[in-house]
Amino acid sequence: MRHFLTINDFSKDELLEMLSLAIAIKSQHARGIATPYLSGQTLAMVFEKSSTRTRVSFQVGIYQLGGFGIFLSNSDLQLGRGEIIRDSAAVISSMVDMIMVRTHMHERLEEFARHSSVSVINGLSDAFHPMQLLADYLTMIECGIFVSDAILDSTPYKSKFHQPIVAYIGDGNNMANSWLMLASKLGFELRLACPKNYMPKQEFLALAQDNAKKSGAKIILTDDIYAVSHGAHVITTDTWVSMGQENEKKQRMQDFKNYRVDSEIMANADKEAIFLHCLPAYRGLEVTEEVIDGTQSKIIEEAHNRLHAQKGVMVWLNRQNKKNII
C-alpha cells in the first residue's frame, strides 16, 4: 500500500510520473475530455485543521475523476471526541477507496496511515505540505522554470533556464521543509532565508542534504534575504503566523519584520522571476500588495494547480496499488 505523507517517500522518477499525469489530466479537462480514472471511487477527506484550497481542490478533483468526496471535520468524527486513531483509521478505510488527512501533528497522520487499509494523502501537517509543493512545481513547469528531461519528453513545456533557483524567504516551517524535500529529490538549487531562531529543523535539513548527494541539488541556508533572492527564478514565502501560533503573533511580527518580499527583492531576482505563495497571504506583512498583485505573481495559477496536481497523485496512487494487488 502506497501512501503520500511526504515528498521524501518517493523517487524523482515517481514524482515526475505524478506531475506528468497531472499535466495530461489538466490538458484533457481543458479540452472538455472526461477523465473518469477513479470512477465510482470514494475519497474521505478528514479535516482536523480547517482549509479553503485543500477542501475545494480535493472535493472537485475526485468529482472530476468520476468519484465522490466525503468531507469529515473534527466535529463530525469520533476522533474529535477522543476515539483512538487506529480505530478511526481502520473503520473509515474499510468503507472508502482513499483518504486525505489534514492535521496539526504529523505523528497523527503517520499513525492514521499505519492503520489504514487504503492510501492516505497528507493534506497538510505541521511538518510537511507536499500537495502544495507539487502544485508549485507544476506552476514552475508552466512558467518555464524547471529541470526534468522526463517532463520535457512528455509535455509541450520548455525550460528557460538550465538550472532553476528557488528562493524561500520566511519561517522554516512545513513549507520550507517541503521545499527542501522537493529540491533535494529533483536536483535544483534551493536557497532559504530564515531568521536565526526560525530555521528548519536539523532532521529535515539532514534528509535534504542526504538526498542532494544523489540528485546534485544545492541547498543554501542563511538569514540574508538579499543573498538568496539575487538572480533567483522563483521567490516564495509563507505567512509569518500559521494556525495554532496566534499566541506567538506579537513576537513573530517583530522577528520577521525584515523578511518581507517587496519590489526591491523582486528586482534583485532574475528579470523573469515569478512570485509564489501557498495562501492565505497577509498583504503588507510577508509580502507587499504591489508584489502579490503584480505581473510576476502566479498565486492564482498556483492555487488552481492544487486541483490538477492532486488529481495526478490520486490517479498515480490508485494505479500503484492495483499493481500491488495483482
What is the set of active-site residues?
Answer: 102, 129, 132, 238, 278, 306
Is 11 labeled as ligand-binding?
no
| Cα 250 to Cα 230: distance, rounded to the nearest angstrom | 30
Spatial separation of the C-alpha atoms in residues 202 and 184, rounded to whole Å:
15
Annotation-wise, does 102 bind a ligand? yes
Residue with cell 499513525: 111
Does 191 count as an annotated binding residue?
A: no
Q: Is 242 annotated as a binding residue?
A: yes
Q: What is the DSSP string of 223-286?
A: S-HHHHHTT-SEEEE--SS-TT-GGGHHHHHHHTTT--B-HHHHHHS-TT-EEEE-S---BTTT
Tell me how far apart the alpha carbons of residues 134 and 227 are, in angstroms, rounded to a whole number. Answer: 26
296 annotated ligand binder: no
Contacts of 64 (CB under 8 A, 6+ apart): 29, 35, 307, 311
Any binding-site annotation on 252?
no
Report how far residue 44's alpha carbon sits from residue 48's, in angstroms, rounded to the nearest whole number.
13
Is residue 279 a known part of a binding site?
Answer: yes
Any binding-site annotation on 174?
yes
Q: How many Cβ atoms sit within 10 Å of the Cβ of residue 224? A: 11
81 is in an annotated binding site: no
Instruction: For residue 243, say whether it is annotated as part of any ligand binding site.
Output: yes
278 labeled part of a ligand binding site: yes
Asked whether residue 131 is marked as a ligand-binding residue, the answer is yes
Rounded distance between C-alpha atoms, residue 42 and residue 40, angstroms: 7
Look up residue 111 and give its three cell numbers: 499513525
Which residues make up each annotated binding site?
51-54, 78, 102, 129-132, 174, 238, 242-243, 278-279, 306
Which residues make up each annotated binding site for L-ornithine?
174, 238, 242-243
Which residues make up each annotated binding site for carbamoyl phosphate?
51-54, 78, 102, 129-132, 278-279, 306
